Amino acid sequence: MATIELTKDNFGEAVSGPGTVLVDFWASWCGPCRQFAPVFEDAAENNPDLTFGKVDTEAEAELAQAFGISSIPTLLVVRDGVVVYAQPGALPAPALAELIGKVRDLDMDEVREKVRAAEEAAGEGKA
């Protein structure tokens, strides 16, 4: 499956549903972004059950800003509507494959419980 272009208009729909979405925040002038692009494309071809999307930070500055993207490339992984990974830097193919495997192995009930607990703790600190 080819990667899809994500914009502020389709981003929410793409990442809010069930399944796993890998998002590459990039720009055409960024050397490491250009190096990571074929790795990301190969991973998309090798994992047709996952969604791979790209956000051009120049065209979608508002979206990049919403996610606090200050360094590119940045890889964001969302599973079942929950951000489970967000790190800047171009991953080599073996590291990306390993990350995909770890995301597949996540117990999402456990992840959601940790998110809930963290949100409760943050709420108590504000009271």
The whole-angstrom separation of Cα 16 and Cα 97 is: 23
Return the CATH class of domain 4-126.
alpha beta
The catalytically annotated residue of 22, 33, 43, 63 is 33
Q: List the pLDDT tens digit at each of the 127 positions of the chain.
A: 579 999 999 999 999 989 999 999 999 999 999 999 999 999 999 999 999 999 999 999 999 999 999 999 999 999 999 999 999 999 999 999 999 999 999 999 999 899 889 889 888 765 5
74 classed as catalytic:
no
Name residues whose C-beta falls within 8 Å of residue 67's C-beta, 6 or more positions apart in sequence: 25, 74, 76, 86
Three-state secondary structure call for residue 1:
coil
Three-state secondary structure call for residue 5:
strand
The catalytically annotated residue of 15, 23, 30, 96 is 30
pLDDT score at 126: 59
Domain spans, the chain? 4-126
57 classed as catalytic:
no
